[in-house]
Structure 1
Amino acid sequence: MILRPTHALWLAGLVGFALLPQFIEVKYYLHLSILALIWVIAAQGQNLIQGYTGYVSIVQAGFIGIGAYSTALMGIHFDLPVWLTILLAPLVTAAFAVGVGYPSLRVKGHYFAIVTLAFNLVIFIVLMNFTELTEGEAGITGIPKPGSPDGWLNWRDRETYYYFVLIVAALMTGLAALIVRSRIGQILVAIRQNEDLVGAIGISAWKYKLFAFVTSAMFAGLAGAIYAHYQSFINPEIFGVAQSLDAILAVIIGGSGTIAGPVIGAFFVVFLPEYLRFADSFRLIIYGLVLVLATIFMPRGIVGVATSVADWLRRRRA
Structure 2
Amino acid sequence: MKADLRATPGRVSWKNEAALVVTAFAVLALTPFIVTDSYSRHILIMAFIYAVVASNWDLSLGYGGVFNFGHLALFGIGVYAYGLMTKLAGIDPWLAMALSGAVSTIAAIVVTIPILRLKGIYIILVTFGFAQLVMQLILSQSDYTGGTQGMVRIQTLYLAGHNMIRDGKFAYFYIALAILFASTVFLRLLVRSKTGASIVALRDNEEYAVSRGISLVRQRVITLAASAFFTGVAGAFYAAYQRNASVDVFGMSLATIILSMVLLGGTSTIYGAIGASFVLTIFAEVMADFGAWRPIITALLIIVVMLVYPSGLAGIWASARASWLRRREG
Using the size of structure 1 for normalisation, the TM-score is 0.93
| Separation in 1, partners of 2:226, 2:17 | 25
The number of aligned residues is 315
CA pair 304-162 structure 1, distance change in 2 beyond 3 A: same
Q: Does 2:205 match 1:174?
A: no
| Separation in 2, partners of 1:265, 1:58 | 19
After superposition, the C-alpha distances for 1:150-179 in whole angstroms (9 at most, x for unaligned) are: x22322231111011111210111011111
After superposition, the C-alpha distances for 1:249-288 in whole angstroms (9 at most, x for unaligned) are: 2222122111311220221332222222222122222222
Q: Does 2:276 match 1:271?
A: no
| Separation in 2, partners of 1:105, 1:297 | 36
| Separation in 1, partners of 2:280, 2:102 | 27
Which residue does 1:65 correspond to in 2?
A: 76
The one-letter code sitting in structure 2 at the alignment partner of 1:317 is R
> Cα RMSD (Å) of the superposition?
1.8
Q: Does 2:89 match 1:78?
A: yes
Which consecutive residues of structure 2, in runs of 5 or more, have no partner in the other structure? 1-12
Residue among 217, 236, 241 paired with 1:230 = 241
Give the SS at the match of 1:72. helix
| Separation in 1, partners of 2:285, 2:68 | 26
Which residue does 1:249 correspond to in 2?
A: 260
Cα offset for 1:4?
4.4
Which stretch of structure 1 is more off in the superposition, 76-85 or 269-278? 269-278
Which residue does 1:49 correspond to in 2?
A: 60
Residue among 170, 180, 204 paired with 1:159 = 170
After superposition, the C-alpha distances for 1:221-251 in whole angstroms (9 at most, x for unaligned) are: 1110011001111111133233223222222
Residue among 26, 39, 58 paired with 2:37 = 26
Q: After TM superposition, what 4+ stretches of structure 1 lie above 6 angstroms from structure 2?
A: none
Which stretch of structure 1 is more off in the superposition, 43-52 or 121-130? 121-130
After superposition, the C-alpha distances for 1:155-208 in whole angstroms (9 at most, x for unaligned) are: 223111101111121011101111111111010111121111111112212220
After superposition, the C-alpha distances for 1:30-59 in whole angstroms (9 at most, x for unaligned) are: 101111111222122111101211122211
Using the size of structure 2 for normalisation, the TM-score is 0.90
After superposition, the C-alpha distances for 1:64-92 in whole angstroms (9 at most, x for unaligned) are: 11011011101122211111111111111
Q: Does 2:227 match 1:216?
A: yes
Contact in 1 for aligned 2:82/2:236 (Cα 8 Å): yes
Which stretch of structure 1 is more off in the superposition, 230-239 or 240-249? 240-249
Contact in 2 for aligned 1:62/1:244 (Cα 8 Å): no
Give the SS at the match of 1:56. coil
Cα offset for 1:140?
0.7
Residue among 114, 132, 156 paired with 2:125 = 114
Contact in 2 for aligned 1:61/1:241 (Cα 8 Å): no
Which residue does 2:103 correspond to in 1?
A: 92
Cα offset for 1:111?
2.4
Give the SS at the match of 1:79. coil
Cα offset for 1:25?
3.8
| Separation in 1, partners of 2:210, 2:275 | 34
Which residue does 2:9 correspond to in 1?
A: none
Which consecutive residues of structure 1, in runs of 5 or more, have no partner in the other structure? none
CA pair 129-279 structure 1, distance change in 2 beyond 3 A: farther
The one-letter code sitting in structure 2 at the alignment partner of 1:201 is R
